[in-house]
Amino acid sequence: MYIHMSEKFNPEISSKFLIPEDFLERLYGFTGGGGENAGFILSYVDDSGKAIVYTRASCQIIEMGLRKALEKYLIELEEGEISIDST
């Protein structure tokens, strides 16, 4: 499930647990030095085992940059150039 922060949650399709909106607002506030270059992409597993991806960005250029950085990270992870420390 992919959720852009401008979208509203539909409780019929959402999991029981959702990260609180105030937490996401604070996270957004920590990015970009509080300026116009703010944004994040967050992925986690919900209580039913589904992967959830949140994204919020101050503008489309920032979102594209975040997506490109995530794409590069995933390619490097797939190719074994980096690893995830599971501890």
Domain membership of residue 58 (yes or no) is yes
For 6, the domain range is 2-78
Q: Is residue 87 part of a domain?
A: no
Domain count, the chain: 1
CA quadruple 14, 9, 6, 62: dihedral, nearest 10: -10
* Residue 46 lies inside a defined structural domain of this protein: yes
Best-predicted range by mean pLDDT (1-5, 75-79, 80-84):
75-79
Q: Decide if 12 is inside a domain.
A: yes
Cα separation of 52 and 36, whole Å? 26
Q: Is the pLDDT of residue 5 over 70?
A: no
Chain CA centroid to CA 38, Å: 13
| pLDDT for 26 beyond 60 | yes
CA-CA distance, 77 to 46, in Å (whole number)? 22
Residue 9 carries which DSSP code? P
